Amino acid sequence: MIPENRIQAELRNTLNETNFPGLGERLQGKVRESYLQKNQRIIVTTDRVSAFDCIIGTIPFKGQVLNQLAAFWFEKTKAIVPNHLISIPDPNVMVVHECEQLPLEFIVRGYITGVTKTSAWYNYEKGVRYFCGNTLPEGLKKDQKLERPILTPTTKHEKHDRPISREEAIQEGLIDAETYDAAGALCFKLFEAGVKHAAKQGLILVDTKYEIGKLNGKLVVSDEIHTPDSSRYWFADTYESLFAAGREQRKIDKEYIREWLVSQGFRGEGTPPELPEEVRMEAAKRYIQAYEQVTGLEFTVTDEPVAERIATNLRRAGCLK
Protein backbone atom coordinates (compact mmCIF):
# COMPACT_ATOMS: atom_id res chain seq x y z
CA MET A 1 0.00 0.00 0.00
CA ILE A 2 1.30 3.49 -0.86
CA PRO A 3 2.07 5.51 2.32
CA GLU A 4 -0.50 8.15 3.23
CA ASN A 5 2.01 11.00 2.99
CA ARG A 6 2.82 9.94 -0.59
CA ILE A 7 -0.86 10.02 -1.52
CA GLN A 8 -1.24 13.41 0.16
CA ALA A 9 1.74 14.78 -1.77
CA GLU A 10 0.07 13.70 -5.03
CA LEU A 11 -3.13 15.67 -4.36
CA ARG A 12 -1.76 18.68 -6.23
CA ASN A 13 0.04 16.69 -8.92
CA THR A 14 -2.78 14.61 -10.35
CA LEU A 15 -3.18 14.07 -14.10
CA ASN A 16 -6.19 16.22 -15.00
CA GLU A 17 -5.67 16.40 -18.76
CA THR A 18 -3.08 15.77 -21.46
CA ASN A 19 -1.91 17.45 -24.64
CA PHE A 20 0.47 15.54 -26.90
CA PRO A 21 0.73 17.32 -30.27
CA GLY A 22 1.58 14.89 -33.05
CA LEU A 23 0.07 11.89 -31.27
CA GLY A 24 -3.13 12.08 -33.31
CA GLU A 25 -6.56 13.66 -33.17
CA ARG A 26 -7.46 14.17 -29.51
CA LEU A 27 -10.86 13.15 -28.17
CA GLN A 28 -11.73 13.84 -24.53
CA GLY A 29 -14.06 11.62 -22.52
CA LYS A 30 -15.03 11.93 -18.88
CA VAL A 31 -11.94 10.05 -17.67
CA ARG A 32 -9.99 8.92 -20.73
CA GLU A 33 -8.38 10.92 -23.52
CA SER A 34 -7.95 9.21 -26.87
CA TYR A 35 -5.52 10.03 -29.66
CA LEU A 36 -6.67 8.62 -32.97
CA GLN A 37 -4.19 7.08 -35.39
CA LYS A 38 -4.64 4.83 -38.40
CA ASN A 39 -6.65 1.77 -37.28
CA GLN A 40 -5.72 2.29 -33.64
CA ARG A 41 -6.06 4.72 -30.80
CA ILE A 42 -3.86 5.61 -27.86
CA ILE A 43 -5.91 5.91 -24.67
CA VAL A 44 -4.52 7.93 -21.76
CA THR A 45 -6.38 7.33 -18.49
CA THR A 46 -6.36 10.50 -16.40
CA ASP A 47 -6.99 10.90 -12.68
CA ARG A 48 -10.36 12.55 -13.29
CA VAL A 49 -13.36 11.06 -11.52
CA SER A 50 -16.92 11.26 -12.81
CA ALA A 51 -20.14 10.52 -10.99
CA PHE A 52 -23.75 11.09 -11.98
CA ASP A 53 -22.45 11.94 -15.48
CA CYS A 54 -20.41 14.88 -14.12
CA ILE A 55 -16.65 15.34 -13.76
CA ILE A 56 -16.18 15.86 -10.03
CA GLY A 57 -12.41 16.35 -9.65
CA THR A 58 -9.31 14.15 -9.50
CA ILE A 59 -8.11 11.27 -7.33
CA PRO A 60 -4.37 10.59 -6.85
CA PHE A 61 -3.10 7.57 -8.86
CA LYS A 62 -6.62 6.74 -10.07
CA GLY A 63 -5.67 6.70 -13.75
CA GLN A 64 -2.80 4.29 -13.17
CA VAL A 65 -5.02 1.98 -11.11
CA LEU A 66 -7.73 1.89 -13.77
CA ASN A 67 -5.33 1.34 -16.66
CA GLN A 68 -3.27 -1.36 -14.98
CA LEU A 69 -6.30 -3.17 -13.58
CA ALA A 70 -8.02 -3.10 -16.98
CA ALA A 71 -4.84 -4.50 -18.51
CA PHE A 72 -4.79 -7.26 -15.89
CA TRP A 73 -8.37 -8.26 -16.71
CA PHE A 74 -7.90 -8.01 -20.49
CA GLU A 75 -5.02 -10.46 -20.22
CA LYS A 76 -6.89 -12.76 -17.82
CA THR A 77 -10.06 -12.95 -19.93
CA LYS A 78 -8.70 -12.83 -23.49
CA ALA A 79 -9.24 -16.58 -23.95
CA ILE A 80 -12.90 -16.16 -22.93
CA VAL A 81 -13.76 -12.99 -24.87
CA PRO A 82 -11.40 -11.17 -27.29
CA ASN A 83 -10.55 -7.53 -26.53
CA HIS A 84 -9.09 -4.49 -28.28
CA LEU A 85 -5.75 -4.28 -26.41
CA ILE A 86 -2.48 -4.06 -28.36
CA SER A 87 0.08 -2.85 -25.80
CA ILE A 88 0.68 -0.96 -22.52
CA PRO A 89 3.52 1.53 -23.15
CA ASP A 90 2.96 3.33 -19.82
CA PRO A 91 1.07 2.64 -16.56
CA ASN A 92 -1.57 5.19 -17.65
CA VAL A 93 -1.67 4.33 -21.36
CA MET A 94 -3.13 1.67 -23.63
CA VAL A 95 -2.65 1.26 -27.37
CA VAL A 96 -5.77 -0.42 -28.75
CA HIS A 97 -7.38 -1.41 -32.02
CA GLU A 98 -9.96 1.07 -33.27
CA CYS A 99 -13.41 -0.48 -32.86
CA GLU A 100 -16.95 0.36 -33.84
CA GLN A 101 -18.57 0.78 -30.44
CA LEU A 102 -22.10 -0.47 -29.77
CA PRO A 103 -24.42 2.35 -28.63
CA LEU A 104 -25.28 0.68 -25.32
CA GLU A 105 -23.48 0.07 -22.05
CA PHE A 106 -24.08 -3.50 -20.88
CA ILE A 107 -24.42 -3.74 -17.11
CA VAL A 108 -24.52 -7.14 -15.40
CA ARG A 109 -25.82 -7.19 -11.84
CA GLY A 110 -25.50 -10.00 -9.34
CA TYR A 111 -26.93 -8.03 -6.41
CA ILE A 112 -29.52 -5.27 -6.05
CA THR A 113 -27.86 -2.09 -4.84
CA GLY A 114 -26.79 1.41 -5.89
CA VAL A 115 -27.57 5.11 -5.41
CA THR A 116 -27.60 6.42 -8.99
CA LYS A 117 -30.85 6.92 -10.89
CA THR A 118 -29.90 4.07 -13.24
CA SER A 119 -29.16 1.62 -10.41
CA ALA A 120 -31.40 -1.33 -9.66
CA TRP A 121 -31.95 -0.48 -5.99
CA TYR A 122 -32.79 3.19 -6.66
CA ASN A 123 -35.49 2.11 -9.10
CA TYR A 124 -36.71 -0.75 -6.91
CA GLU A 125 -37.20 1.66 -3.99
CA LYS A 126 -39.34 3.80 -6.31
CA GLY A 127 -41.62 0.82 -6.92
CA VAL A 128 -40.14 -0.40 -10.21
CA ARG A 129 -40.48 -4.17 -10.55
CA TYR A 130 -39.85 -4.51 -14.31
CA PHE A 131 -36.33 -3.17 -14.75
CA CYS A 132 -34.61 -3.20 -18.15
CA GLY A 133 -36.62 -6.23 -19.22
CA ASN A 134 -36.14 -8.10 -15.94
CA THR A 135 -39.02 -8.87 -13.55
CA LEU A 136 -37.88 -8.37 -9.95
CA PRO A 137 -39.70 -10.16 -7.10
CA GLU A 138 -41.31 -8.38 -4.16
CA GLY A 139 -39.56 -8.22 -0.83
CA LEU A 140 -35.96 -7.66 -1.93
CA LYS A 141 -33.65 -5.80 0.44
CA LYS A 142 -30.78 -3.48 -0.40
CA ASP A 143 -27.57 -5.40 -1.23
CA GLN A 144 -29.42 -8.71 -1.56
CA LYS A 145 -28.01 -11.30 -3.94
CA LEU A 146 -30.24 -11.92 -6.94
CA GLU A 147 -31.35 -15.42 -7.86
CA ARG A 148 -29.18 -15.10 -10.96
CA PRO A 149 -27.29 -12.23 -12.63
CA ILE A 150 -29.37 -9.91 -14.80
CA LEU A 151 -28.46 -7.72 -17.79
CA THR A 152 -29.56 -4.08 -17.46
CA PRO A 153 -28.30 -1.94 -20.36
CA THR A 154 -28.25 1.84 -20.50
CA THR A 155 -27.98 4.30 -23.35
CA LYS A 156 -24.61 6.03 -23.71
CA HIS A 157 -24.96 8.94 -26.15
CA GLU A 158 -27.46 11.00 -24.17
CA LYS A 159 -26.85 13.71 -21.56
CA HIS A 160 -27.78 11.23 -18.82
CA ASP A 161 -27.62 7.45 -19.20
CA ARG A 162 -31.08 5.90 -19.49
CA PRO A 163 -31.99 2.34 -18.44
CA ILE A 164 -33.37 0.45 -21.41
CA SER A 165 -34.64 -3.04 -22.13
CA ARG A 166 -33.68 -5.33 -25.00
CA GLU A 167 -37.03 -4.75 -26.67
CA GLU A 168 -36.82 -0.95 -26.32
CA ALA A 169 -33.26 -0.83 -27.65
CA ILE A 170 -34.27 -2.83 -30.71
CA GLN A 171 -37.46 -0.81 -31.27
CA GLU A 172 -35.51 2.47 -31.05
CA GLY A 173 -33.08 1.21 -33.69
CA LEU A 174 -30.09 1.32 -31.36
CA ILE A 175 -29.14 -2.30 -31.98
CA ASP A 176 -30.41 -5.42 -33.73
CA ALA A 177 -31.56 -8.52 -31.88
CA GLU A 178 -28.70 -10.76 -33.03
CA THR A 179 -26.01 -8.29 -31.96
CA TYR A 180 -27.72 -7.59 -28.62
CA ASP A 181 -28.00 -11.27 -27.76
CA ALA A 182 -24.42 -12.01 -28.79
CA ALA A 183 -23.09 -9.07 -26.76
CA GLY A 184 -25.17 -10.09 -23.75
CA ALA A 185 -23.80 -13.63 -23.90
CA LEU A 186 -20.23 -12.29 -23.90
CA CYS A 187 -20.99 -10.09 -20.90
CA PHE A 188 -22.36 -12.97 -18.85
CA LYS A 189 -19.21 -15.00 -19.64
CA LEU A 190 -16.97 -12.14 -18.52
CA PHE A 191 -19.01 -11.59 -15.37
CA GLU A 192 -18.83 -15.27 -14.43
CA ALA A 193 -15.05 -15.20 -14.83
CA GLY A 194 -14.83 -12.01 -12.80
CA VAL A 195 -16.97 -13.39 -9.99
CA LYS A 196 -14.86 -16.55 -9.74
CA HIS A 197 -11.55 -14.70 -9.62
CA ALA A 198 -12.83 -12.08 -7.17
CA ALA A 199 -14.01 -14.85 -4.82
CA LYS A 200 -10.50 -16.31 -4.77
CA GLN A 201 -9.25 -12.87 -3.71
CA GLY A 202 -11.79 -12.52 -0.90
CA LEU A 203 -14.06 -10.18 -2.83
CA ILE A 204 -17.55 -10.11 -4.30
CA LEU A 205 -17.86 -8.70 -7.80
CA VAL A 206 -21.29 -7.15 -7.27
CA ASP A 207 -22.01 -5.69 -10.68
CA THR A 208 -20.11 -4.24 -13.60
CA LYS A 209 -20.41 -2.30 -16.84
CA TYR A 210 -19.06 -3.54 -20.16
CA GLU A 211 -18.35 -1.63 -23.36
CA ILE A 212 -18.62 -3.86 -26.42
CA GLY A 213 -17.34 -3.01 -29.89
CA LYS A 214 -16.87 -4.62 -33.26
CA LEU A 215 -13.39 -5.35 -34.62
CA ASN A 216 -13.21 -6.83 -38.11
CA GLY A 217 -16.87 -7.75 -37.77
CA LYS A 218 -16.40 -9.62 -34.47
CA LEU A 219 -17.54 -8.50 -31.03
CA VAL A 220 -14.79 -7.55 -28.56
CA VAL A 221 -14.75 -6.06 -25.08
CA SER A 222 -13.19 -2.60 -24.94
CA ASP A 223 -12.56 0.50 -22.83
CA GLU A 224 -12.16 -1.03 -19.35
CA ILE A 225 -13.12 -4.20 -17.55
CA HIS A 226 -13.79 -4.95 -13.86
CA THR A 227 -12.21 -1.71 -12.58
CA PRO A 228 -13.33 0.23 -9.46
CA ASP A 229 -14.92 2.76 -11.84
CA SER A 230 -16.97 0.26 -13.82
CA SER A 231 -17.65 -2.27 -11.05
CA ARG A 232 -18.65 -2.63 -7.44
CA TYR A 233 -16.50 -4.76 -5.16
CA TRP A 234 -17.45 -5.82 -1.62
CA PHE A 235 -15.45 -7.83 0.92
CA ALA A 236 -16.78 -11.37 1.05
CA ASP A 237 -15.94 -12.13 4.69
CA THR A 238 -18.32 -9.53 6.12
CA TYR A 239 -21.09 -9.59 3.50
CA GLU A 240 -23.52 -11.87 5.35
CA SER A 241 -23.19 -10.22 8.77
CA LEU A 242 -23.53 -6.68 7.40
CA PHE A 243 -26.45 -7.63 5.17
CA ALA A 244 -28.26 -9.31 8.08
CA ALA A 245 -27.74 -6.20 10.20
CA GLY A 246 -28.93 -3.89 7.43
CA ARG A 247 -25.60 -2.08 7.40
CA GLU A 248 -23.55 -0.76 4.48
CA GLN A 249 -21.11 -3.17 2.89
CA ARG A 250 -17.34 -2.69 3.05
CA LYS A 251 -16.45 -1.56 -0.45
CA ILE A 252 -13.44 -0.62 -2.57
CA ASP A 253 -14.84 1.13 -5.61
CA LYS A 254 -16.27 4.45 -6.86
CA GLU A 255 -19.48 3.96 -4.88
CA TYR A 256 -17.71 5.61 -1.93
CA ILE A 257 -17.58 8.87 -3.92
CA ARG A 258 -21.17 8.56 -5.15
CA GLU A 259 -22.40 8.02 -1.61
CA TRP A 260 -20.47 11.07 -0.36
CA LEU A 261 -22.03 13.18 -3.11
CA VAL A 262 -25.52 11.93 -2.22
CA SER A 263 -24.83 12.82 1.43
CA GLN A 264 -24.19 16.38 0.20
CA GLY A 265 -27.50 16.41 -1.68
CA PHE A 266 -26.06 15.94 -5.17
CA ARG A 267 -27.40 13.37 -7.66
CA GLY A 268 -26.34 14.97 -10.94
CA GLU A 269 -28.42 18.15 -11.02
CA GLY A 270 -26.84 21.56 -10.51
CA THR A 271 -23.23 22.20 -9.52
CA PRO A 272 -21.43 19.29 -7.82
CA PRO A 273 -19.72 19.98 -4.49
CA GLU A 274 -15.93 20.09 -4.42
CA LEU A 275 -14.33 16.92 -3.12
CA PRO A 276 -12.49 17.62 0.17
CA GLU A 277 -8.89 16.43 0.47
CA GLU A 278 -9.85 13.74 2.98
CA VAL A 279 -12.43 12.28 0.56
CA ARG A 280 -9.93 12.33 -2.31
CA MET A 281 -7.32 10.59 -0.16
CA GLU A 282 -9.74 7.94 1.11
CA ALA A 283 -10.88 7.30 -2.46
CA ALA A 284 -7.25 6.91 -3.57
CA LYS A 285 -6.61 4.37 -0.82
CA ARG A 286 -9.64 2.36 -1.91
CA TYR A 287 -8.65 2.40 -5.57
CA ILE A 288 -5.12 1.25 -4.72
CA GLN A 289 -6.47 -1.43 -2.36
CA ALA A 290 -8.79 -2.63 -5.13
CA TYR A 291 -5.84 -3.07 -7.47
CA GLU A 292 -3.77 -4.97 -4.92
CA GLN A 293 -6.66 -7.10 -3.64
CA VAL A 294 -7.87 -8.08 -7.11
CA THR A 295 -4.49 -8.73 -8.70
CA GLY A 296 -2.49 -9.92 -5.70
CA LEU A 297 0.27 -7.55 -6.88
CA GLU A 298 1.89 -4.57 -5.17
CA PHE A 299 0.91 -1.19 -6.60
CA THR A 300 4.08 0.76 -7.40
CA VAL A 301 4.52 4.38 -8.47
CA THR A 302 7.35 6.61 -9.64
CA ASP A 303 8.31 10.10 -8.47
CA GLU A 304 8.49 11.43 -12.03
CA PRO A 305 5.62 13.78 -12.97
CA VAL A 306 2.99 11.62 -14.68
CA ALA A 307 2.66 13.67 -17.89
CA GLU A 308 6.44 13.71 -18.37
CA ARG A 309 6.68 9.97 -17.74
CA ILE A 310 3.90 9.28 -20.25
CA ALA A 311 5.62 11.40 -22.92
CA THR A 312 8.93 9.61 -22.32
CA ASN A 313 7.36 6.17 -22.56
CA LEU A 314 5.34 7.07 -25.66
CA ARG A 315 8.57 8.18 -27.37
CA ARG A 316 10.30 4.95 -26.37
CA ALA A 317 7.40 3.00 -27.85
CA GLY A 318 7.63 4.94 -31.09
CA CYS A 319 4.16 6.44 -30.65
CA LEU A 320 5.33 10.02 -30.16
CA LYS A 321 8.03 11.80 -32.10
DSSP for 99-153?
-EE-SEEEEEEEEE--SSTTSHHHHHHTT--EETTEEPPTT--TTEEEEEEEE--
The pTM for the full model equals 0.94
| CATH code of residue 151 | 3.30.470.20
Q: Are strands 100-101 and 134-135 parallel, antiparallel or unpaired?
A: unpaired
Contact 201, 294 (CB under 8 A): yes
Question: For residue range 10-25, what is the model confidence (pLDDT) as tens digits?
Answer: 999 999 999 999 899 9
Residue 156 has a pLDDT of 87
Residue 244: which domain range? Answer: 101-257
Overall domain count for the chain:
1
Question: For residue range 253-302, what is the model confidence (pLDDT) as tens digits?
Answer: 999 999 999 999 998 888 999 999 999 999 999 999 999 999 999 999 99
Residue 265 within any structural domain of the chain: no
* Mean pLDDT value across the chain: 95
DSSP result, 33-67 = EEEEETTEEEEEE-SEEEETTEEEEE-TTHHHHHH
What is the rounded average pLDDT of the residues 226-230? 95
Residue 160 within any structural domain of the chain: yes
- Residue 84 pLDDT greater than 90, yes or no: yes
Residue 269 within any structural domain of the chain: no
Q: How far, in Å, are 118, 166, 173, 178, 274 from residue 170 at the CA level?
A: 19, 6, 5, 10, 39
Q: How far apart are CA 280 and CA 315, in angstroms?
A: 31
- Residue 159 pLDDT greater than 80, yes or no: no
- Dihedral, 50, 54, 59, 62 alpha carbons, nearest 10: 20
Residue type at position 224 = E
